[in-house]
Amino acid sequence: MSDRIRTILETARVIAVLGAHEQTSRPAGYVPQYLYQQGYRIIPVNPAFAGKTLFGERVRARLDEIEEPIDMVDVFRRPEALPQHTEEILSMKPLPKIVWLQLGIRNDPFAKDLEAKGIEVVQDRCTLADHKRLGLKPISSSP
C-alpha cells in the first residue's frame, strides 16, 4: 500500500479539497495548507466559504463547479455525509482519478459506487501524515 500511496502523492498535482476550512487549527485547514506549501495546487470546496479565497484559489460551493481536470479529491466530511456527494463527484468533467478520504473517514458503499466508475478510492488515511512519513519532497523542488 505504501508504494501506491507514494505514487498517488508524487503524481497528483491538482487537489480539490471537499470540506476545506479557513481555520488552520482544524484538519480541513492545516492539511490543505501543508499540501499547498508543498507545491500542490489546492482548489477548496465548501459552500460556507464559497467566493472567498483560500490557498490562492476561489472557494467553490460544489465539486462539479470545477471546470478543469482534478487529480485527487481530498475529503474532509463525515462518513454519513458522503453519499450526498456521489452525484457531485460523478458530474465532474473529467472524473477525478482519486478520491481520498481523510483519517477516520470510511464509507465502503460510497467507495464502491465511485470505484464502479473507475475512480480509485483511498479511505481512512491522512495526506499530510503520509506525505511526511514517505519523506516526499515539495513538488517545486522535484526534478
Question: What are the structural domain ranges in the chain?
Answer: 2-138
For 22, residues 6+ apart whose C-beta sits below 8 A from its C-beta are 29, 49, 52, 54
pTM for this structure?
0.94
% of the chain residues with pLDDT over 90: 95
- Summarize pLDDT for 28-71 with one digit per residue, the tens: 999 999 999 999 999 999 999 999 999 999 999 999 999 999 99
**Terminus-to-terminus CA distance in the chain, angstroms?**
24
Q: The domain 2-138: what is its CATH number?
A: 3.40.50.720
Pairing of strands 98-101, 120-122: parallel
Residue whose entry in the numeric block shows the C-alpha cell 487537489:
15
Residue 20 CA to residue 101 CA, distance in Å, equals: 13
